[in-house]
Structures are given as C-alpha cells and as structure tokens.
Amino acid sequence: MLPKDDYAIVLDFLPRGHAIGRPEPIAQVLGDKYFSLLEIIVKKESTVANGERVYIGDDKRDKVDHIKRRIATNDLTPFARSELPFLVEKIVNGDEQRFVDFFNNARPISTRLHQLEMMHGIGKKHLWSIIEERKKEKFKTFADLQTRVKFLPDMKKAVIQRVLDELEERDRHRLFLMSPPMKQW
C-alpha cells in the first residue's frame, strides 16, 4: 500500500463545484509530503482559502468531508495550475532537509542509470562529484551542496522542476512522488 498524505495545501476552492455535476464545495489540493493531487469535498459549514493547509488524513477532519478523487494536472483549474509551481517551491523550502537528503541517499536505478542523473543539470561528472563529497560528509543544505560541488546548477530549482515533471507524468521514474501515474488506475 502506498503512503498517503495527511495534510494538503489548497490550490483552488470552488464553493459551488464544477460547472457540470453536483453543486458541492470542492477544493483542488496538493499533498504536502507525497505531492498527491486530489479533489476534496469541503464540509458545507466550512470554507477554505487558497494556500491553506488542511487535514486529509484518516482521523476526524475539521474542514474536509471526504476525498472525492485523485486528479491529474490537466484536471486542475487554470488558477490551480498557475499556483502549482509556487506551492511546490513552498513545500521544498519548508522541508529542505528532506530534499537535500535525496542527494545524500540517492542510489543507482540500474547499472547504467543513477537517480542523481535524473535531476536536471546532473551528468556523469556532477554525479561522481556529489558521490565523492557525500562520502566525506553528508550535505546539510542546498547551499552546502552548491558550495562543495563546483559548477553545479541550482539544485533547489532542479528539485522543484523534477517534482513538476513527475506531476505532469513526463517520466516513468518517481523520485519524489509516491503515487503511480494516472494511466495505471
């Protein structure tokens, strides 16, 4: 069973739902740990604001009635789609150590491909530089990574772009998202 997000950040709130279908308060949200894109039904007596963090876990929910469905990026409203890069960046900034640890713990996928090579801007030279540097000492921050590995592009931006690429299903390999591609559902 795949891990699930307990909290999500509201991308867009539609108090009357979509133009077609039942008029119910819907929010499109992004899971703040595994980047799940979901539509949730908001309790009738509640409202949510764009950017608000809401509980979607299995225990008693204060504002969320239920999770309606998992969605793909092409199901997002135009406003939600425009907010997505900013919220991914906010999540990466808010949990920097988790994403820096990716560089500390990344492993080979096959004999010819390493997880690090799947990041924008990392080729064989940067791959080996990162591996050598992390043997000396684990990376503590993105700034530490940039300082110790010469001529490395901005890895925080690379992580954000990789998450967005995975949300758009541009690659079958998952580095940061836990959910399978929508096509398999």
Summarize pLDDT for 71-126 with one digit per residue, the tens.
999 999 999 999 999 999 999 999 999 999 999 999 999 999 999 999 999 999 99
Do 66 and 99 have their domain in common? no
Q: What is the mean pLDDT of residues 154-167?
A: 96
**For residue 181, pLDDT beyond 60:** no
**For residue 11, pLDDT beyond 80:** yes
CATH number at residue 48: 2.40.50.140
Q: Give the pLDDT confidence score for residue 86 in this predicted structure.
A: 96
Of 82, 84, 86, 77, give the one whose Cα is nearest residue 14: 77
DSSP letter at 180 equals: P
Length, in residues, of the chain: 185
For 97-112, the pLDDT digits (tens) are: 999 999 999 999 999 9
Least confident of 36-45, 97-106, 156-165, 171-180: 171-180
Do 108 and 63 have their domain in common? no
Count of the separate structural domains present in the chain: 2
Counts for the chain of helices (H) and strands (E), in that order: 5, 5
- How wide is the angle at C-alpha 110 spanned by C-alphas 109 and 116, nearest 5°? 40
Q: Is residue 181 in some structural domain?
A: no
Least confident of 12-26, 115-129, 130-144: 12-26
State the pLDDT confidence band at 178, using cuts at 50, 70 and 90. Answer: confident
Q: Is residue 185 in some structural domain?
A: no
Q: Is the dihedral of CA 51, 39, 170, 175 positive or negative?
A: positive
Of 85, 86, 127, 82, give the one whose Cα is nearest residue 109: 127
- Tell me the whole-structure pTM to 2 decimals: 0.88
What average pLDDT does the chain have?
A: 91
Tokens 């758009």 belong to 168
Spatial contact of 176 and 163, defined as CB atoms under 8 Å apart: yes
State the pLDDT confidence band at 180, using cuts at 50, 70 and 90. Answer: low
Do 12 and 73 have their domain in common? yes
Helices (H), 28-95: 78-94
Do 38 and 67 have their domain in common? yes
Q: Which residues make Cβ contacts (< 8 Å) with residue 1, sequence separation at least 6? A: none
Judge residue 105's burial from the number of C-beta atoms within 10 Å of its C-beta, 0-12 exposed, 13-18 middle, 19 or more buried: exposed
Q: Give the pLDDT confidence score for residue 185 in this predicted structure.
A: 36
State the pLDDT confidence band at 179, using cuts at 50, 70 and 90. Answer: low
**For residue 184, pLDDT beyond 90:** no
